[in-house]
Structure 1
Amino acid sequence: MSEAKKYPTPVTNPETKPFWDAAAQGKFLIKRCTTCGDAHYFPRSICPFCFSDKTEWEESSGEGTIYTFSLMRKSASGPYAIGYVTLKEGPSLMTNFVDCDLERLAIGTKVKVVFKPTGGAPLPFFTPV
């Protein structure tokens, strides 16, 4: 019987605490700038587009599309895939793909966020819908 995969505990700080608190409730948050209107990820207080500090937390649908990915067939921990997902809300983010047949991943595949437990807040990953 194989042992369940262990994920590292995320390091939190006051700026990202709302993100990790929401993750513990199964919610995926992004930030939206109220000055320019653009959504961004990773969560930070300054908008990366217009540099305004007028940003607000917003719950993402957690749904997106694979923009690109890379399959690592040989590693000490076994095969895995990483890539970029473009969320329905606009931002793109790098992630690992889990709970799927890695050989069936394709650019354009619809995916959704899934949370994996750690010793602290759960980590978000994506899996095909």
Structure 2
Amino acid sequence: MTGTGSPATPGIDDLTRPYWDAAAAGDLLIRRCADCRRPHHYPREFCPHCWSEDVGWERATGRATLYTWSVVHRNDLPPHRDRVPYTAALVELAEGPRMMTEVVDCPPERLAVGMELTAAFRTGEDGVAVAVFRPA
């Protein structure tokens, strides 16, 4: 599947395969630098803080807080067009990094900055599981 993907998911390659395999098993992974010890997300081959290449995978708790969101009422790209409206969000993981995602199982009027969330996984038509978040 190297370099493959759909409008709903990015390409899966050798670097990101552990992330996607973990998501399929219901686990959220982040990367942590062995030199400066800072975590980061999205997966990269180097630390975005100190530029070290000594980074590895770590299982995240799946806990997060809502940082900001937007309710999307129109998106013509598949498979999103069949799910509008949906809540696109930026969450702050308990480990520190922020992550783009979707909030599910919560009406937009109940959303609030700082709301506690927990990771869940949705498997798309392409068979790839993606992390989404719901109220804790």
Question: TM-score per shorter chain, which class?
Answer: 0.7 to 0.9
The secondary structure found in structure 2 opposite 1:11 is strand
Comparing 52-61 and 77-86, the one that deviates more: 77-86
Calculate the aligned-residue CA RMSD, in Å: 1.6
Looking at secondary structure, tell me which structure has more strand per residue: 2
Structure 1: which 5+ runs fail to align?
Answer: 1-6
Higher relative contact order (CA 8 A, sep 6+): 1
Partner of 1:25: 25
1:87 matches 2:93: yes
Structure 2: which 5+ runs fail to align?
Answer: 1-6, 76-80
Matches within 5 A, 1:4-23: 8-23=8-23
Q: Report the identity percentage.
A: 41
Between the two proteins, the alignment pairs up a number of residues equal to 122
Match for 2:113: what amino acid?
I
Match for 1:90: what amino acid?
G
Match of 1:97 among 97, 100, 103: 103
Partner of 2:35: 35
Give distance in 1, aligned partners of 2:101 and 2:9.
16
* Cα distance, 1:9 vs structure 2: 5.0
When the two structures are superposed, what TM-score results if normalisation uses the length of structure 1? 0.87
**Are the equivalent residues in 2 in contact too, given 1:10–1:123 (CA < 8 A)?**
no
Match of 1:115 among 110, 114, 121: 121
Matches within 5 A, 1:49-88: 49-72=49-72, 74-75=73-74, 77=81, 78-88=84-94
Match for 2:107: what amino acid?
D
The secondary structure found in structure 2 opposite 1:100 is coil
